[in-house]
Amino acid sequence: MHTTISRNNGDLFMENVALSDIAQQFGTPCYVYSKSAIELNYGAYVTALGDRPHLVCYAVKSNSNIAVLQTLAALGAGFDIVSVGELERVLMAGGDPSKVVFSGLGKTSGEMRRALEVGIHCFNVESESELVLLNKTASALSVKAPVSIRVNPDVNANTHPYISTGLKEDKFGIDINYAMTVYQNASLMDNIDVIGIDCHIGSQLTEVRPFVDAMNRLLILVDQLAELKITLNHIDIGGGLGVRYRDESIQSVDEYMRELLPLLAHRSETLVLEPGRSITANAGALLTQVQFIKSNEHKNFAIVDAAMNDMLRPSLYQAWMNIQPISHNAGVVEKEYDVVGPVCESGDFLGKDRKLKVKEGDHLCLFSAGSYGFVMSSNYNSRPRAPEIMVDGDNVFLVRQRETIQDLIRGEQLLPVNSSSNC
């Protein structure tokens, strides 16, 4: 997928803007996104799908900044959401609710109600209990809820176990062998309109074969349902197409579609996709500054001002992310460093055993940080969250301000001074 970071005379640029200038203007740590890369990555799906009836729903969980969502909404994108908070973000960004699919296995009645009120495309239902609650909620509003049943096809996606979602032992979806019964029950509910089938087998998939396996299993079920007069309008194959972080061999969107689309030849169902990482990961970077260099007989440490609360992926998933100095250091000796943050956890690292020419005060760039970066950040150790920046050609826009100490304590209350204990 597209990235717009390049070196010019030794300095890293995003589009036409030097990352060193962004670091100086906005401070570090900070997230930076390329508007052009987001547009190109989304466009790759639209182009590859051609005249196939389709709906590309960006997975909001991967990056929910409203400027990112606005960029995609302007291109006509749909959105895959997993909470009412994500729904409200989509609406604020100008997204079309009729192009929204609501995934997630713990939807509340209040969330269902709001989604029905604005008229989303469909709910991806994950359990019989959810189906019952949705039917009840829709009945109270005197409407029918459009439903797609999320089926668990028991396909091994060969990815990290924390982001595998399509095996029978995973918490997601309904066992494909039981799905027929659920569809039949759903079709008898007064306030449920069964319109599709959905699956999602995992994230950061580096090959197409698991998608093909899943699609073949879904199509068998779709045809069995048709024999029972349960006709589906769309097939949602989910997201999960991976990106290159290090040296992964990644199949392109074109290659993905060349293997997937022939399975749908002579079929009328709309193909729904839920890409996230493949649209925004390589469109973003995290900038940080080296505060201290620390060495002992075993290790060299580059202690930076970004931490696991800013970028959790290396700690949580043991994810490898490319780290490079923003500016070339010709006179600095290259050494092997662990790049670590100031949070009081041994797991607080951004990269280990990295060969870098770096000194105190230098700025570093973490590549491919546009997905599952800021959205997974926290205030652990009472650290304010980083700002987010959008680059558009020569222009730089602050799309989220850096949090302040006041932001950290918003909503908290001290006890009354004269309070007494009942103990």
- Which residue, 181, 195, 189, 179, is CA-closest to 131? 189
Q: How far is CA 106 from the centre of its chain?
A: 18
* C-alpha dihedral (175, 179, 180, 185), degrees to nearest 10: 140
Separation between Cα atoms, residue 394 and residue 15, nearest integer Å: 7
Neighbour count for residue 202 (Cβ, 10 Å)? 27
Q: At 248, is the secondary structure helix, strand, or coil?
A: coil
| Tokens found for residue 168 | 């029978």
Q: What residues are annotated to the active site?
A: 344
Beta-strand ranges (E) seen in 96-144 are 100-102, 122-125
Q: At 130, is the secondary structure helix, strand, or coil?
A: helix
- Which residue, 14, 62, 6, is CA-closest to 390? 14
Q: What is the largest CA-CA distance in the chain?
A: 76
Q: At 301, is the secondary structure helix, strand, or coil?
A: strand
415's CB contacts (< 8 A; 6+ apart) are none
The secondary element (H helix, E strand) that includes residue 69 is helix 66-73
Q: At 214, is the secondary structure helix, strand, or coil?
A: helix
